[in-house]
Structure formats: structure tokens, C-alpha cells
């Protein structure tokens, strides 16, 4: 993503206030748009970020390429630990994974066993995140790999040194063999300097044999969720001014976390990296709906 240029600050009052040195660098692993718009869409709409996405399923990759802007690049790689792996092609494309679906676990929830039925197995060479030449840094990482998130972290090397936000699918009840449960991923992210910020979404399932007419109907059992982790804002001196600026943009536009954004602006103002009245100006932007 070299030569990504300066953000179009005219598209955002907040960007005018922050004046980051470069576009927010977003990497989306598992970019198949089956769950609606990605969280970084508001940044893209304002031309404040550049996206490198990965999608090994040809049909999904074709859809992404057909709709992309000049700020988006999509690659066909399966991101992992850099080893040759088996891609399990499932009946529902959203269940396709480098891990084998766990039939025993899936049998406890309506619909999941059918969706995870393996139609084909393909040998693929995975690429480690640290070995992708199109990436020269990451501020925001999104992962939706159906259990492959741990392998991505293991192959990231120093690529996440500048990252301030990671959104990943976490599993409370692992649906794939060898999948890291939520607790393991939480510890792995904390070890890299991130702390939980919010759950962007959660998925609940009904436990069989209770069954309703709607296969999506659920009571209380948590199965998965999209967790958002951020660089530890409790230790702001561990972030550069540029990192804080991108964290403010991501917090504001991607998650409407106005408190986190204001916290970042407070520390930037204290350092003299933004005008002293930047926090007050920001609250005006928020109140005006900007």
C-alpha cells in the first residue's frame, strides 16, 4: 500500500481537525460480504482509508472486485500461518474454513450441520500476513475466517506493530475442530497490547431438541460474536500521535465510540499534536451529527 497518499480531509470535519499523515490502512481477511457492510465503510465513503482484502472463494472475490473503488484491493490468498492447508468448501459459503467443521458440536444447533456440510476439499497454500507485499502497515485489522484467526496472529510477525483496532469473529462454542475458543484469543490479543472494547454483534442459537419454525430463532446460547479490540488506551504513551489519530477516526466512524475518540483527542491535545481546543471542537462535531 505504498504511496497511499494523504486523506481527503475536506470530506470530514474530524479529519480536518486531526490531519493524519496517511490514509487509515485497513486489512480485511475473509472479506466475503455475507454479513452486510464492513465496519470501515464510513471511512471508505469519506476516502479516509485504503483497504487490502483477502477472499479465497472465487465467486465472492469476483463480487468484491466488481463493486470495489480505487481505494480497495482484493487478493485471492488464504491467509494463515504460511503452510499448505485444506480448505473445506461448505454448503453455506459463510461456513467454508481451513478447519474441519465439528459434526458433534454442530449437531446441537438447528441448521448448522446442513450449512457446514463439506462439499469439497481443496489444498491451498496459505500466506502469512507478514509476507504480503501489498501491506506496509495496518491500523485496522478485520478477521472473519471461521476459526482461522489464531493462525493469522501467529503469522503476523511485526505487521501489527502499528495496529490500533482489531475486529475478529470469536467463538464461545467452537464449531470447528482445533478452533481457538474466545478465552484463548482474548489472551493472545492482550499479549499483543490490545484490550476488549465492545461486541459489534453476537450470534445465539437454539439448543436442540427444542426447535422453532424459524431456523434462526434462538434463546440464550451464545455461539459466536464479532469482538472489537483496541490498542490499550489506558497506556496512551504506548501509542504514537499518528496511531492515536487513526484510533480516533476508527472509533468515531466505524463504531460511534465517541468516548474513546474524545479520550484520544485529549491525549493528542496534551502532546500538542492537535489544537488545544480539539476536544471541545470534537464535541461540537458529535453534537452536530458530523
Answer whether residue 227 shows pLDDT above 80. yes
Enter the C-alpha cell of residue 12: 470530514
pLDDT, residue 3, reads 40
Contact 124, 12 (CB under 8 A): no
Provide mean pLDDT across the span 43-62: 92
- Does residue 34 or residue 183 have the better pLDDT? 183
Answer whether residue 4 shows pLDDT above 70. no
**Mean pLDDT value across the chain:** 93
| Cis peptide bond N-terminal to 257, omega within 30 | no
Strand 118-128 versus strand 140-143 pairing type: unpaired
φ/ψ of residue 159, rounded to 5: -60, -25
Distances in Å between the Cα of 171 and the Cα atoms of 106, 113, 147, 203 are 13, 16, 8, 10
CA pair distance 209, 159, nearest whole angstrom: 45
Q: How distant is the alpha carbon of residue 286 from its chain centre?
A: 24
Provide mean pLDDT across the span 207-220: 91
Contact 10, 282 (CB under 8 A): no
Query: Alpha helix (H) ranges present in the chain?
Result: 13-18, 41-45, 58-67, 103-106, 112-115, 149-154, 182-191, 241-255, 258-271, 278-287
Region of 245 (left: φ > 0; alpha: ψ -120 to 50; beta: rest) is alpha
Provide mean pLDDT across the span 137-150: 94
Answer whether residue 6 shows pLDDT above 50. yes
SS3 21: coil
Contact 8, 46 (CB under 8 A): yes
Q: Is the dihedral of CA 230, 52, 93, 116 positive or negative?
A: negative
φ/ψ of residue 112, rounded to 5: -65, -40
pLDDT, residue 2, reads 38
Report the range of poorest mean pLDDT among 5-14, 58-67, 124-133: 5-14
DSSP H or E run through 119: strand 118-128
Which stretches does DSSP call E strand in 173-220? 194-205
Q: Would you place residue 94 in the very low, low, confident or very high pLDDT band (cuts 50, 70, 90)?
A: confident
pLDDT, residue 5, reads 64
User: DSSP class of residue 79?
Assistant: E
Amino acid at each position: 500500500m505504498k504511496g497511499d497518499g494523504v486523506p481527503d480531509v475536506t470530506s470530514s470535519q474530524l479529519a480536518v481537525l486531526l490531519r493524519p499523515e496517511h490514509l487509515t490502512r485497513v486489512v480485511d481477511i475473509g472479506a466475503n460480504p455475507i454479513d452486510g457492510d464492513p465496519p470501515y465503510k464510513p471511512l471508505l465513503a469519506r476516502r479516509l482509508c485504503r483497504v487490502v482484502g483477502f477472499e479465497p472463494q472465487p465467486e465472492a472475490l469476483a463480487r468484491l472486485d466488481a463493486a470495489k473503488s480505487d481505494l480497495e484491493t482484493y487478493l485471492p490468498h488464504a491467509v494463515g500461518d504460511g503452510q499448505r492447508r485444506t480448505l473445506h468448501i461448505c454448503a453455506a459459503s459463510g461456513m467454508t474454513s481451513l478447519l474441519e467443521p465439528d459434526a458433534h458440536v454442530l449437531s446441537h444447533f438447528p441448521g448448522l450441520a446442513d450449512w457446514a456440510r463439506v462439499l469439497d476439499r481443496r489444498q491451498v497454500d496459505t500466506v502469512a500476513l507478514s509476507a504480503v507485499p501489498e501491506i506496509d502497515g495496518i491500523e485496522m485489522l478485520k478477521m472473519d475466517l471461521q476459526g482461522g484467526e489464531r493462525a493469522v496472529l501467529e503469522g503476523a510477525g511485526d505487521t501489527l506493530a502499528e495496529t490500533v483496532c482489531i475486529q475478529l469473529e470469536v467463538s464461545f462454542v467452537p464449531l470447528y475442530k482445533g478452533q481457538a475458543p474466545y478465552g484463548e484469543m482474548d489472551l493472545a490479543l492482550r499479549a499483543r497490547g490490545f484490550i476488549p472494547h465492545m461486541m459489534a454483534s453476537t450470534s445465539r442459537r437454539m439448543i436442540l431438541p427444542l426447535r422453532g419454525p424459524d431456523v434462526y430463532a434462538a434463546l440464550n446460547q451464545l455461539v459466536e460474536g464479532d469482538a472489537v479490540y483496541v490498542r490499550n488506551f489506558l497506556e496512551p504513551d504506548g501509542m504514537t500521535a499518528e496511531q492515536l489519530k487513526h484510533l480516533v477516526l476508527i472509533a468515531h466512524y466505524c463504531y460511534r465510540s465517541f468516548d474513546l475518540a474524545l479520550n484520544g483527542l485529549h491525549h493528542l491535545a496534551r502532546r500538542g499534536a492537535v489544537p488545544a481546543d480539539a476536544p471541545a471542537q470534537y464535541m461540537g462535531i458529535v453534537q452536530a451529527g458530523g
